[in-house]
Structures are given as C-alpha cells and as structure tokens.
Chains A and B, each alone.
Chain A
Amino acid sequence: MISFFSQLFSEAGFWQARRFSGRLFQRILALVMAVGLTLGLAVPPALADGVTQEQLDTITAQWEGSLHALNDVNCASCHQDSETKSFVAVPNQESCRTCHEQSVDTFLLGKHGIRTLEGESALTPALARLPMHEAAFEKSMSCNTCHDVHTVNTLQASTDSCMTCHNDTHTNNYFNSKHAELFEADRDLPRPSNASVSCATCHLPRHTIEIGGNEVVKVNHNNTYNLKPRDRMVADVCMNCHGVEYSYNSIFDDELVTANFDKPPHLELETFDLIRALEKRRSDNGDGE
C-alpha cells in the first residue's frame, strides 16, 4: 500500500509540474534531447555507420567456420529483408525465427523473452528481482545477447553468457561443483557434449519433441519452465544422470541449491520413507511385485 500511495503522489506531482511549469517542461525537453544526442554518438559504429574492413574480416572468418556457413546460411539470409531486399544491420529474433522457430517461441515464453512477446521493451537485468551485475544492467535480451551468432558456438551461450548478468550465490558457486568440472572438459568444443552440465543443461534443457511426425532433440529456451514445481526439473534434467532419491533430496535442499550442488545431499525426504513403508505393507500382504 505504501508504494501505491507513493506512486500516487509522484504521479500527481509530475503531472502538475508538467502542466504548470512551462520552464520545467523546456528543461526536461532539453535534457531528453541531450541524452538522445549522447546516446546517438555512443552507438557503436557497427550499428550506425557500418563496420571497418578489419572487423568484417574477423566476422567473415568466424562465419566461415560456423554451422551457418556449412548449411548455406549466408550474410543475406539474416542481414537482408527477404521481401524488400533492404539491408538489415542488426537482425532481431524474428530473423532467427525464420529457421529456429521452436527456439524463439520457447524463449518468448520464459522470463528472458516474455516482455518482448507482450510488446514491452525487451528485458534488461536492471528490471530483475534477482541479483545481477551492475555492469550488465542495460543489456537488452534477444538471441544475440547470449549467442555469438557468427561463430554459432553454443558453449559460450550455455554458461559464460549467463555469468555476464546473473550475480546470485547459486550462479557464482557453479564453478565449485562437479558439474562445472565436467563442463571444463568441453571447453574446446563448438557445442556442449551430452556428458557435461552447464547452466543451460538444467535451465534451458534439451528436450525431445515431435516435429512433423519425427522425434527431434531441441533446446527448450523457456528458462522458467522447469523451475516450479521442482519435480519438473527432477524428471526433465536430474534423472538423466541421477537416481530419483538423490535428485529429490538435492533439489529440495535449499542450502545445497544455493551452494550449487557442491556436495552430495544430506537431506532425507520423508516421502521416500512413506514409499518404503508402502512397499513393505504390500509385500507383507503378499501382493508385492
């Protein structure tokens, strides 16, 4: 309620200031223009006036070794409007969606993409309730915020990209875990193997879906999907490697979650005692399996 009333007064105050003080309005206008001008000058040349030959050579070399190049996805595939043929300096998620429909559609349903889906300004770490790195506050979420679109190396997107924004204890403790040790073995690969555990392994997990009658493995980019209830992550992710009891005892141990699973769980959920008692009753009654 307090915030409700403080909003009320700040709104009313601002409204009156705009209405009754022409001079203040002029000052605000001047400030807006000054900020706009500064931003205009601060935009990197890649966005405003094209890149240098040197930058272009680097990008071209990155692209030549990428899966995009080897699948005949050329510069114009993304940097040219398919209808008007006009040049597109910075393609957005709609361009990616032309080929990566499932990835973009799931991205838009999670926290990272939902503001974009709903026509709001894209998510920035400054808007988050979770602790974020201040230096990343103004990063705007789209595909290439996490993905290096020219190398198409997804190793970076699976862990390093997360670390540039997220600054909570669970994230920062990742490198103390066995999961991170496994991930280090993948460091020189273009994509994480199926044996390592990155941030994305759990939070943007690979899932098997049906597309056109075929079962295919895709990455679920809805980063919110398996967070709650926690049993969703157990079945989708943990139980690819761990037993059911170990998984549940880990994921319901808040301290262990904060420590990013740096040791085996010591929690013993009562649920499993109940199941064991049930099994015993069934076998005592002679109808056990």
Chain B
Amino acid sequence: MAVSGRRGFSWRAIVNFRTVVALSCVLLMGWFTAAVALDRKEVFLPGESSVGHYLIEASCASCHEGFKPVSNDTCMRCHEAEMAEDVHGQKKFRDPRWAAELAKLEVLTCTTCHSEHIHMFDRGVHLQPDLCMTCHQGIIEGDLTSHDGFTPDGCWTAGCHNYHDHRSISTGFLRQNLDQPPMLPVQAMPTIEVETQLDEAPEPDLSKEFLGGAA
C-alpha cells in the first residue's frame, strides 16, 4: 500500500522482461560460481550417471577435457583390459570387406554407441539396445533361418552376444563345450605360487618409532 501511494514510482519500470532476464543470468552465474567454489560439481550433471561411473560423477575432468567431446583415450585409460580382445576393433575395419560399414555407424568411437548421463539400457555405460541392426538387420529378416523373427533389441540385452569380446559366447566356443557335465572332471582355480627367501623371520628393524609417535 505504501508503495502504490508513492508518486511517480511504478513497479513495471523495474520488473520488465529485460530485468528478469538480466537477473536470471546473474543468479545462474552466481549458482555456477558457487558450485565450483564449494566443489559441488554434481549440480552440473545433466542426468543420472551409469552404475559404472556414478562414483566418479563429480570428477568431471576424469572424462571431460573442458567442453571437448569425450575421446577414446579417456575411456581406454581405465577400460584397456575389457577391450583387449575387441572383435569390432581397428583390425576388423582395416579389412576392405568391412571398411565401408564404418560409414553406417562410426563404431570405432566409443561415444557413438555408449552414452553417459542418459538412461537407455544399463550395461555399465548406457547403450541403445538395437544398435546391432545398423549393420546386422538381415540376420533377423531371413539371412539366418535360426534367427528369423528375433526382436531387433535382443542381440545383447538377452545375453547372447557380446559386441567387443565374444571369446566365451561365440558359436564356436559354445559348440566346442556343448554337453559338458555340470561339474567338470577337474575342478580347480589357478594356484598362486608363493616363495619365501628366508627360513625364519629377521629381527624387526623398527620398534621405538611405533611407540613414540612420528619420529
């Protein structure tokens, strides 16, 4: 009431579109600065992180170098072991028979298929279930009698195929091991060889340091 009684003052002069936009920008800037200053970088996450990465989701620099796209090198820094036997790797597409397939989908770039911060189908990093169809659609449409009419999103979600490493799931492997009994004749994990250099323990070389605290 007091405000409206004052002459020559109008709220509309202040609260117009321009000030709202300017104020929003200032607030947003303040919010981002606060998030960085308080080390609460998770506010920048655009969506739920995958089960494999959520523990380091606030460590942006683990995967992102500024605003550049995530590179294969970044992924391989941790996932080298998983990719050691990649059947859809560089070697395959150097072969002229398959080289042209790369034009359909740039599968040598991890992020072509794997997306983070967006939930699709969970397997470590999120993955679109029917990606195989880009090249292998014929398989479910008559090229392979046994797979006729299979759903386009089942290849790997059903657990039958492993895109990168199919050593233990390929047709050859399953044929070779078919009809094995539930328990194999020899049941043993590898044995760890342990060696010792001395017959008995030497004299302990520290003692008072532990009693007196840091020396």
Candidates A8, A194, A207; contact of B31 at CB < 8 Å = A8
A contact residues, range: 35 or more
Q: Are A11 and B43 in contact (CB under 8 A)?
A: yes
Candidates B156, B180, B195, B205; contact of A75 at CB < 8 Å = B205
B58 partner residues in chain A, CB cutoff 8 A: 120
Candidates B30, B45, B189; contact of A194 at CB < 8 Å = B189
Binds B, one of A21-29, A32-40, A223-231: A223-231
Q: Are A69 and B81 in contact (CB under 8 A)?
A: no
Residues 36 to 77 of chain B near chain A (Cβ within 8 Å): 38, 40, 42-43, 45-46, 51-52, 54-56, 58-59, 62
Known contacts A63-B201, A119-B59: does B174 contact A272 (CB below 8 Å)? yes
Q: How far is the CA of A43 from the CA of B183 in the complex (A)?
A: 50
Known contacts A86-B215, A206-B190, A278-B175: does B81 contact A225 (CB below 8 Å)? yes
B95 on interface, CB distance cutoff 8 Å: no
Question: In whole Å, how far is A194's beta carbon from the nearest beta carbon of chain B?
Answer: 5
A64 partner residues in chain B, CB cutoff 8 A: 201
Contact string against B for A residues 246-289, beta-carbon threshold 8 Å, 1 for contact and 0 otherwise = 10000010000000000010000001101111110000000000
Question: In whole Å, how far is A208's beta carbon from the nearest beta carbon of chain B?
Answer: 6
Question: In whole Å, how far is B86's beta carbon from the nearest beta carbon of chain A?
Answer: 13
Q: Are A243 and B59 in contact (CB under 8 A)?
A: no
Q: Are B178 and A235 in contact (CB under 8 A)?
A: no
Candidates A7, A65, A74, A109; contact of B81 at CB < 8 Å = A109
Number of interface residues of B (CB under 8 A): 73
Contact string against B for A residues 179-222, beta-carbon threshold 8 Å, 1 for contact and 0 otherwise = 00000000000010011000001000111100000001111001
Q: How far is the CA of A71 from the CA of B200 in the complex (A)?
A: 9
Candidates B31, B42, B52, B192; contact of A206 at CB < 8 Å = B192
Q: Are A49 and B196 in contact (CB under 8 A)?
A: no
**Which one of B181, B196, B206 has the greatest number of beta carbons of chain A within 10 Å?**
B206
Binds A, one of B12-20, B135-143, B164-172: B164-172
B210 partner residues in chain A, CB cutoff 8 A: 50-51, 56, 59, 75, 79
B96 partner residues in chain A, CB cutoff 8 A: none
Candidates B52, B59, B168; contact of A231 at CB < 8 Å = B168
Q: Are B192 and A219 in contact (CB under 8 A)?
A: yes
Binds B, one of A93-101, A110-118, A159-167, A168-176: A110-118
A51 partner residues in chain B, CB cutoff 8 A: 210-211
Q: How far is the CA of A219 from the CA of B194 in the complex (A)?
A: 13
Q: Are A72 and B198 in contact (CB under 8 A)?
A: yes
Candidates B124, B188, B202; contact of A72 at CB < 8 Å = B202
Sampled A-B contacts (8; CB under 8 Å): A11-B34, A70-B199, A87-B214, A109-B81, A117-B78, A234-B168, A235-B167, A239-B184
Which of A's residues lie within 8 Å of B, judged by CB?
A: 4, 7-8, 11-12, 14-15, 48-53, 56, 59-60, 63-67, 69-72, 74-76, 79-80, 86-87, 89, 106, 109, 111, 114-115, 117-120, 123, 127, 129, 191, 194-195, 201, 205-208, 216-219, 222, 224-225, 228-232, 234-235, 237, 239-246, 252, 264, 271-272, 274-279
Known: A75-B204, A235-B168. 17 other contacts (CB 8 A): A11-B34, A48-B213, A50-B209, A66-B201, A72-B197, A74-B205, A76-B206, A87-B215, A115-B55, A195-B188, A201-B189, A219-B192, A228-B124, A240-B190, A241-B183, A242-B182, A243-B179
